[in-house]
Amino acid sequence: MLQIRETKLPGVGIRLEFTARNGGRVGVIIHRSGRRDVIVCSPHDPDVCQDVLHLDEEEVHALIEALGVSHVTEEAARLQLALGGLAIDWVEVAEGSECAGRTLHEVEHLEDFAASVVAVIRDAQTIASPPSAFAIKAGDTAVLVGTRQGVDGLSALLSSC
């Protein structure tokens, strides 16, 4: 079975990719909006796409059926990436979250999480390394880094209503 590599694309979604037996690289970018792009990458540079096919949900299902898959289970799994004890995740700040309107300093000290907010995506703009006085708003996407347990705890706090 071929190995599918998963790469988080903060602010965009997730990239799933595999290398075909002939050396070609094929992938799917799953946008947060639900749109999917089928990509064929350069075998020499994984960041260079040789071809892109933009598909909406109905077209994705038609392609799946054409490939012979009769049943697809769609699962909304959190996108996570763990590297040697370091976890990276992003979460949307929920409407009604107790964190909305608070500064990063206040949020990170509500509980003793071993995680920090290292960036915030607001209105398609990325604010890297926001200062501790930066106020979180509902609808912001917070990029979290820390231990797996710390990231999970801070994520739950930010996404709670």
Using one digit for the tens of pLDDT, what is the confidence trace for 24-36?
Answer: 788 888 887 777 8
Give the pLDDT confidence score for residue 103 in this predicted structure: 95
Q: Which residues lie closer than 8 Å to 65 by C-beta, 6 or more apart?
A: none
pLDDT band at 161; cut points 50, 70, 90: low
**pLDDT (tens digit per residue) in 62-77:** 777 777 643 323 332 3
- Please state, for a pLDDT cut of 70, what percent of the chain lies above it: 86
Mean pLDDT, the chain, rounded, equals: 79
Angle, vertex CA 133, rays to CA 123 and CA 147, nearest 5: 80
71-77-79-82 Cα dihedral, nearest 10 degrees = -100
Predicted structure pTM score: 0.52
Give the pLDDT confidence score for residue 154 in this predicted structure: 92
Strand pairing partners for 27? 17, 39
Q: Is domain 81-159 annotated with CATH 3.40.710.10?
A: no
Checking if the pLDDT of 93 tops 70, the result is: yes
Least confident interval from 7-16, 66-75, 77-86: 66-75
